Structure 1
Amino acid sequence: MLRAEAAVPVRMRRVAIVAPEQALRESLVRIAEAGCVEVDLAGDGGPEAYGPAATRLRRLGVASGRPVLCEDPPDLDVLEREGRTDLLVGEAQLEERLGSAVRRGGVAALAGWCPETEVAATAARLAGAGGALVPLRAPRGVDPPTLLAGAGTAPAAHPATPVRRSFTPLVTTYGTVPYADLDPTMAAGVVYVLMFGLMFGDAGHGLLLVALALLLRAGRPRRFAALRPLWPFVAGAGLAATLAGVAYGEFFGPTGVLPVLWLEPLEEPMRLLAVAVGLGAVLLAGAYAAGTVNRWREGGPVSALYATTGVAGAALYLGLAVGAGSVWLGQVAFGVVGAVIAVAGLVLAGTGLYAATAGGPGGAAQTGVQLFDAVVRIGSNVVSFARLAAFGLTHAALGAIVWDGTTALAGRGPVGVAAAVPVFLVGNAVAFSLEALVAGVQALRLEFYELFSRLFESEGRPFRPWRPPVRPVAGQAADTGPPTPEDPVRPGSARKESS
């Protein structure tokens, strides 16, 4: 994949699945095998949604399950007697798609979405069944579904590095990226591990995280095997914490094993605080830049110009930052320049906000409140990054307490040394567990509320391809294919469509 393409969601193409009536089932089976087409379903599923498989599932009292599709039409009576609900769910989903097709003169068609790079290969696969995959013009006012490279539903043509895959949950946990927006996966991951490292700055604890990441990579312990894809993310956080610990001179606390290369948190808290706030200011500037690009891609230059997360908000932020810098440096000229830029940002933002109201005095009052909130929010968001220093100080303080207790006991002879060892081990275990949790949560909070809130103004719709495992014979075991999410079956229909 080209680097430019990696910065945006996978490009989608509107397609139609067209086949003669008698070849429609086999064509849909080929679509399931391809696993890269999201098929549109009719609102009521059509008359065939009340088909034999759906009827048998209702009779068995099954509302959901992992679907498996038979390559050839199975004997539904046999499946019901044998309790093969997986195959019945697959047939019920197929019935709903058959019922959603539009039919004209012996030809049936279904619409859907497919990654652009998969269209040719899928069309060739359908041709072997007598069907065709026809590219269509995207309908107006309808955004394509979003697929991020390396996501769980991404086809093989859209691979991702292990690092990118491990960072993807940071974005998907927040929501679905709108199709028109930038894909922030890599930037979000790098920023997260950087913030985590500043708060969890201890070389010993960081190396423990790296060791934990290597265990995950090896599939150990087995009960956490599902977390194996996250090992690069854990390793990155551990490496950042290790580097910060080297800079702080912290190795399982202020043990003196490492010299202080940059600053000692407990001795220079104000310097650490200034660095944390300065880093936050830089990250917010980057968020405004990305937000401006997103507003442009979503609605054009006008949307980008007047949005509080676009040019208007960026100008307001820049003006306030320059004004704050003038106070710090004692330069009145900077203050004047900052005020001019901030006023320009307020005018642009106010124009955009007022245009979204009903107008009149009420609209003016609403705009005033929103502008006040925008100014206060900028200040509070910048200050919020002070928690990077605050929790870094907390980590250092816990390490110092444990080390002071250890050295105090060790100075009391052999009995004291025997007591010092468990104090050191237990104390570091408690500090590691508590601070890893706190730093992880706080880094996530800063990313979501301070940064992502400027990148995204709406949420997209995730790409959900139809990809049940296909079995050549109905009697084959159903548990040999890739995992497929459970698909609930709605009353009177073969499948409940995900919202």
Structure 2
Amino acid sequence: MRRVAIVAPEKALRESLVRIAEAGCVEIDLAGDGGPDIRGPAATRLTQLRAEPAHPALGEAPPDLDALEREGRTDLLAGEAELEERLGSAVRHGAVAALAGWCPEAEVGATAARIAGAGGALVPLRAPRGVDPPTLLTGADAVPPGPAATTVRRSFTPLVTTYGTVPYADLDPTMAAGIVYVVMFGLMFGDAGHGLLLVAVALLLRAGRPRRVAALRPLWPFVAGAGLTATLAGVAYGEFFGPTGVLPVLWLEPLEEPMRLLAVAVGLGAVLLAIAYAAGIVNRWREGGPSAALYATTGIAGAALYLGLAIVAGCVWLGLALYGVVGAVIAAVGLALAGVGLFATTAGGPGGAVQTGIQLFDAVVRIGSNVVSFARLAAFGLTHAALGAIVWDGTTALAGRGPVAVVAAVLVFLLGNALAFCLEALVAGVQALRLEFYELFSRLFEGEGRPFRPWHLPVEHGPGSATAAGPPTAAGAVRQGPAREEKS
């Protein structure tokens, strides 16, 4: 993200801003809080119409505001009102005006060339101290960060943006978060039949069906990934619409080996927490340098405490006293570093020492509770298997007792699986989200960034008009700017 200035002669400023709006890749700083203090003729007329404005748009040339008011063109009046707000925010020196803002690095050259034809210039600036740039997200309506912005990546974006906007300096966890989520979902929703149904739902979303949920179409790779991992887990469990015997057990049968499944779930959680600590160290270093990374409970200090406690737990499990001593030393170093960092944030004195002690105790307890929390992967996997077994037992108990009983068996099988599918999909989805937010994201992020909000309006081109972006369009046609997506 680059800090930029839009510089243009006063007479060329409007056309330059129109081209900026059409490109849709520059966030322009507004005077004050960007509120209604800067009101021009277009904003006044829009208020007088007392009508809900349509989606704002701009005309290529300065419009006749009286004519727009008579025609009820609230869309163009709203667009002109936004333009007036930015014109009023410009800093003027003689015949030259300038506005500051942010633009993605990859878009600076193209945007500069675009407004050069109008007589303006896009000048890169040094970022001001103490001001974090806005974060470019991977969504549907912002500037793409580059080739990595795939369809799969965009479908995972809501996992991160629902939690908050990633600070500009932090790592982008979108892909990793999506992969971890679908793996955890699959372990809890392990049934090959149900997983294939979820894949079918994803294909329907991709086709835009049903139309009432067409807005969810970009999420189809996310749903397909969850269905695929559930299918693979079901194959490993030998579950196909319950323990029907259609598939052999390739790994373990959840209801027969619950402790083994529990151990795997907790072990997976321990690995994921270690990865979260590693990412937290990188984020703290990028946010505040080596000292911030060293003393933070989500940085090196917290990671050392976690590693030490993990070694101690392994010593208890394996019965090796030497490893217990090593783990205790590492944990003590982590506690000491974390204590220094926490005490520095207090007012000092006895009160600060007490507060630090409580926070250190909480940090130790949280590590244990967070690891154990991943046991829910096994618990809800067992619940899914148990529901499938109940439905299958009811189906087989009714089968073979006459035509009426066969019909009843079919109904039990269909309705029971439908209920299990809906209930377990909801539960597994919520629990995977909870694990990601509370156990993992809480170690990655300590603050929240600000999303990049580029100014983007469609522009109406008159007959024979042309812009730096391409040939003229038909009279009165609205030409949209390039499709955009956002990075987290």
Quick one: distance in 1 between partners of 2:178 and 2:19? Answer: 37
Q: Please tell me the residue identity of whatever aligns with 2:226.
A: A
Structure 2 residue corresponding to 1:257, chosen from 227, 246, 258 = 246
**Within the alignment, does 1:276 sit opposite 2:265 as a pair?**
yes
| 1:336 corresponding residue in structure 2 | 325
8 A contact 2:137–2:451 mirrored in 1: no
Give the partner amino acid of 2:32: G
2:460·2:479 contact (CA, 8 Å) conserved in 1?
A: no
Change (3 A) 1:465 1:359: same
Deviations 1:410-429 (A, max 9, x none): 03222211110011000000
The runs of 5 or more residues in structure 2 that have no matched partner are 464-473
The 1:60–1:114 alpha-carbon spacing in structure 2 relative to 1, beyond 3 Å, is: same
SS of the residue 1:110 aligns to: strand
Aligned residue among 18, 21, 31 for 1:32: 21
Query: SS at 1:49's partner residue?
Result: coil
Where 2:98 maps in the other structure, the secondary structure is strand
Q: Which residue of 2 aligns with 1:426?
A: 415
Q: Distance in 2 between matches of 1:59 and 1:85?
A: 11
Name the Cα RMSD after superposition: 2.1
TM-score (ref. length: structure 2): 0.94
Are residue 192 (structure 1) and residue 181 (structure 2) matched?
Answer: yes
Tell whether the 8 Å contact from 1:18 to 1:131 is kept in structure 2 after alignment: yes
Aligned mates of 2:416, 2:36 — CA distance in 1: 66
Q: 1:130 aligns with which of 103, 111, 119?
A: 119
Aligned to 1:232: 221
The Cα offsets for residues 244-300 of structure 1, whole Å up to 9 and x where unpaired, read as 000000000000000111111111111111110110000000000000000000011
- Equivalent position to 1:243, from 215, 220, 232: 232
Q: Name the CA distance, whole Å, in 1 between partners of 2:269 and 2:279.
A: 15
* Cα pair 2:295 2:338 within 8 Å, conserved: yes
Q: Which residue of 1 aligns with 2:377?
A: 388
State the alpha-carbon separation in 2 of the partners of residues 109 and 358 from structure 1. 45
Q: 1:45 to 1:217 in 2, by over 3 A?
A: closer
Going from structure 1 to structure 2, the CA distance change for 1:156 and 1:88 (only over 3 Å counts) comes to farther
Deviation beyond 3 Å, 4+ runs, structure 1: 44-48, 62-65, 155-159, 473-485
Is 1:285 the counterpart of 2:274? The answer is: yes
- Distance of aligned partners of 1:63 and 1:339 in 2 relative to their CA distance in 1, 3 Å threshold: farther
For residue 483 of structure 1, report the CA deviation from its aligned partner.
Answer: 11
Give 1:211's match in structure 2, choosing from 179, 200, 213. 200
Distance, in Å, in 1 between the alignment partners of 2:262 and 2:35 is 63
- The answer (yes or no) to whether the contact 2:141–2:483 under 8 Å persists in 1 is no
Tell me the residue number matched to 2:288. Answer: 299
Equivalent position of 1:220 in the other structure: 209
Which deviates further from its counterpart, 346-355 or 221-230?
221-230
What does 1:106-121 correspond to in 2, within 5 Å?
Answer: 106-121=95-110
Instruction: Go from structure 1 to structure 2 and tell me whether the alpha carbon gap of 1:238 and 1:484 turns closer, same or farther (over 3 Å shift).
Output: closer
Q: Tell me which moved more, 472-481 or 258-267.
A: 472-481
Total equivalences in the alignment: 474
Q: Percent identity?
A: 83
Q: Which letter does structure 2 place at the counterpart of 1:177? A: V
Give distance in 1, aligned partners of 2:482 and 2:51.
19
How far 1:73 moved relative to its partner? 1.0
Q: Secondary structure at the match of 1:227?
A: helix
Name the aligned partner's letter for residue 461 of structure 1.
R
Note if contact 2:462-2:476 (Cα within 8 Å) is conserved in structure 1: no
**2:406 pairs with 1:405:** no
